[in-house]
């Protein structure tokens, strides 16, 4: 069989055709694509798309079909050594050490606040929204913030620690709406400067430092969208930091992308172009890390809402692209489009999850009542 026939046979298991008529079918612009993909795997799929070697009208649905059919598990890559390198690096190096953790901040989060302001909601939330009672992205993100505050049972005057604060949406919301004092840690220069500006006059302290440097004792702790950057070698440290900083009887909420299998490395394309050293945790990995430290009170999965969130981000990104053409080239546009729609498809296929986990330290009189 030719390389084209091998790939077509594989894609047929997911109802995908090469140069077909369906919006999720792949349109090949360069015949070299087939040998490149078979030789280099998922990294080359993304890179060849960035290079314009293939197109697809509906990328999100293409990846939904690929991942739902688990084609990624069926591929036997010729160049196994190349694919094995990320695993070896993760196995023998701490890819999320303090020195390496700054890499994702510089490459991804420090792209520029103007860029993200055009893609995200008005509160600059770069994590999954909660769409249960929402019709717009702004509403979904506010519902998410309020859900977190209610799950943490925030009370006026309480001291709250946030591990990784993004652009300060939670810190600002919790301080304004619930009257709490927030101390937040973040290593992104752009995000820290932005958060300090929007939180002026509020009881919010932003510290530009790694989460492992957190000190003090707090009533409640939140980590929203940072656990994905912790890495499997550091889940124990992550939980230990929270345990050290949480008062007896306090609550700790973790909001994180997650998966249904335990990984020690991430997708090579995501690793190279989007989130260096990132990794989605599993139930087993987080369970082992929290064992002996916390009581698991609530585990909420609303991963399907991330599909809606990502599609809303893509709509905003695409709508506002003309404003950024002079700063970023066409290859960047294709990279960002590929990233957003690949991720949307991964959540639509239910291969990726979004968890909110509520943990307690010590005894909660009467127990914890779950909130949805």
> Cα–Cα distance between 316 and 110 in angstroms, integer?
19
What percent of the chain is predicted at pLDDT more than 70?
90
Q: Is 3 left (phi over 0), alpha (psi -120 to 50) or beta?
A: alpha
Rounded to an integer, what distance in angstroms lies between the CA atom of residue 120 and that of residue 310? 10
pLDDT at 1: 86
Which has the closest alpha carbon to 111: 335, 280, 341, 268? 335
Integer-rounded Cα Rg, in Å, for the chain is: 21
In angstroms, the CA 254 to CA 235 distance is: 12
The mean pLDDT value of the chain amounts to 91
pLDDT over threshold 60, residue 216: yes
Given the residues 56, 128, 149, 343, select the one marked as catalytic: 343
Q: How many helices (H) and strands (E) does the chain have?
A: 16, 9
Assigned fold of 99-360: Rossmann fold (3.40.50)
For the chain, the structural domain boundaries read 3-78, 99-360
Q: What is 102-136 written as a DSSP string? A: HHHIIIIITS-HHHHHHHS-TT---S----TT-SS
Per mean pLDDT, which range of 92-101, 276-285, 318-327, 338-347 is the poorest? 92-101
Confidence class for position 88, pLDDT limits 50, 70, 90: very low
At residue 17, φ and ψ (nearest 5 deg) are -120, 150
Q: Is the pLDDT of residue 62 over 80?
A: yes
Report pLDDT for 77: 47
User: Collapsing DSSP states into helix, strand and coil, what is residue 309?
Assistant: helix
Three-class SS state of 88: helix
Average pLDDT over residues 203-216: 97
Distance CA 322, CA 335 (A): 16
Backbone angles phi, psi at 40, to 5 degrees: -125, -5
The pLDDT value recorded for residue 98 is 54
* pLDDT at res. 274: 92
Question: What gap in Å lies between CA 335 and CA 47, rounded to an integer?
Answer: 8
| Cα 256 from Cα 351, distance rounded (Å) | 14
Helical H segments across 246-329, by residue range = 268-273, 283-290, 304-319
Please write the tens of the pLDDT for every residue from 4-23.
999 999 999 999 999 999 99
User: Alpha-carbon distance 176 to 156, whole Å?
Assistant: 10
Q: What is the mean pLDDT of residues 106-111?
A: 57
Catalytic (active site) residue 343: yes
Q: How far is CA 6 from the centre of its chain?
A: 33
In this predicted structure, the answer to whether residue 87 has a pLDDT above a threshold of 60 is no
Separation in Å, CA 183 to CA 95, 177, 199: 26, 16, 11
pLDDT at residue number 42: 86
What pTM does this model have?
A: 0.90
Segment 183-196 shows an average pLDDT of 95
Query: What are the angstrom distances between the C-alpha of 170 and each of 59, 129, 164, 280, 352?
Result: 32, 12, 10, 22, 24
**DSSP summary character for residue 48:** H
Residue 76 has pLDDT above 80, yes or no: no
Q: Answer whether 302's CB lies under 8 Å from 354's CB.
A: yes
Is 55 in contact with 95 (CB distance < 8 Å)?
A: no
- Contacts (Cβ under 8 Å, ≥6 apart) of 12: none
Euclidean distance between CA atoms 133 and 145, whole angstroms: 13
């Amino acid at each position: 069989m030719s390389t084209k026939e091998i790939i077509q046979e594989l894609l047929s298991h997911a109802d995908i055709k090469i140069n077909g008529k369906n919006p999720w079918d792949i349109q090949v612009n360069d015949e070299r694509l087939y040998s490149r993909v078979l030789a280099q795997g998922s990294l080359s799929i993304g890179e060849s798309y960035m290079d314009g070697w293939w197109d697809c009208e509906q990328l999100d649905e293409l990846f939904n079909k690929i991942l739902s059919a688990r084609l990624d598990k069926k591929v036997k890559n010729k160049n196994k050594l190349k694919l094995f390198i990320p695993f070896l690096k993760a196995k023998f190096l701490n890819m999320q050490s303090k020195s390496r953790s700054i890499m994702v901040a510089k490459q991804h989060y420090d792209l520029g606040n103007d860029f993200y302001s055009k893609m995200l909601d008005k509160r600059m939330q770069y994590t999954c929204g909660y769409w249960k009672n929402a019709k717009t992205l702004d509403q979904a993100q506010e519902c998410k913030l309020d859900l977190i505050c209610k799950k943490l049972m925030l009370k006026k005057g309480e001291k709250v620690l946030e591990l990784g604060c993004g652009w300060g949406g939670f810190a600002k919301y919790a301080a304004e709406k619930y009257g709490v004092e927030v101390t937040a840690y973040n290593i992104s220069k752009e995000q820290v400067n932005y958060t300090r500006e929007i939180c002026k006059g509020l009881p919010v302290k932003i510290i530009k430092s790694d989460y492992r440097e957190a000190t003090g004792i707090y009533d409640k702790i939140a980590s929203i969208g940072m656990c994905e950057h912790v890495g499997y070698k550091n889940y124990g440290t992550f939980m230990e930091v929270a345990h050290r900083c949480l008062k007896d009887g306090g609550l700790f909420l973790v909001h994180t992308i997650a998966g249904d299998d335990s990984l020690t490395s991430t997708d090579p394309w995501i690793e190279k172009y989007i989130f260096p050293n990132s990794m989605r945790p599993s139930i087993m990995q987080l369970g082992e890390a929290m064992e002996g430290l916390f009581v698991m009170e609530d585990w909420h999965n609303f991963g399907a809402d991330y599909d809606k969130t990502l599609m809303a981000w893509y709509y905003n990104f695409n709508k506002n692209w003309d404003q950024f053409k002079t700063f970023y080239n066409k290859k960047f546009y294709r990279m960002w489009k590929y990233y957003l729609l690949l991720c949307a498809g991964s959540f639509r296929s239910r291969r990726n999850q979004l968890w909110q986990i509520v943990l307690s330290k010590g005894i909660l009189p009467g127990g914890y009542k779950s909130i949805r």
